[in-house]
Structure 1
């Protein structure tokens, strides 16, 4: 968890604080709701919210860095994003989960998705729009917006 947070913070002290806040919030949530099943995706979602809270509180302009470190494509970030997306898909209705999986995981064209689901192409496109909206609403905040407002992926 610390590694996930430290790559998104300006300094280690802030990363330690955000990591602590993440675990405290997770423990509070588990205590309040006995039916909460802690998963890595769930914990990453809490960390992302705590990072957004930090950035909202800071409300300062970032100091320019002459040679910022190259973050590149970290395979761990990709795996965490995949886990969070999988967890989010699991929260959707079966029909939303099916159409998103067929279209974006299986990479099928809308026409084939429609055929598999027994719908018209137009109805499938409308269903995809609603499913994407539901996915965005369920997906944890990813990065704070420059205005200080959180956004959805």
Structure 2
């Protein structure tokens, strides 16, 4: 045995060689499906991080663009599952018996939330989706508690005005 054992090459190094070529394909795949550049960038980063972990597993496939698109597809599915859970958490109503009604209401609520201004959307998301107390929402937004309470009042009013009557856009 030699005094210096040879280091086993990291299988994820193949990703470095592929990165520049694959990045536009992975990002384009995700952007076409989510329509939001920031979200597509986040999901692309998650994809490459997951690809590194997957490439290091014993018996992993050799990284390629189609393989990375498959990883991106899984990351996108994970994202949509998270979104679906958030939607249901926002509009869950134990009095509604039909689960499709709950899902349709959740989708409509999410669309309404997305149509609000960023300050209203941020306040409502932190308070009601993330479940943070008002002082923590204030800290995240860099506002006083009193200013955050006022912002939440205005944001809820904006949401009510924007939310379609009878569930029809």
Higher RCO (CA-CA < 8 Å; seq separation 6+) = 1
Larger of the two Rg values belongs to structure: 2
TM-score (norm. length: structure 2): 0.41
More helix, by proportion:
2
TM-score (norm. length: structure 1): 0.46
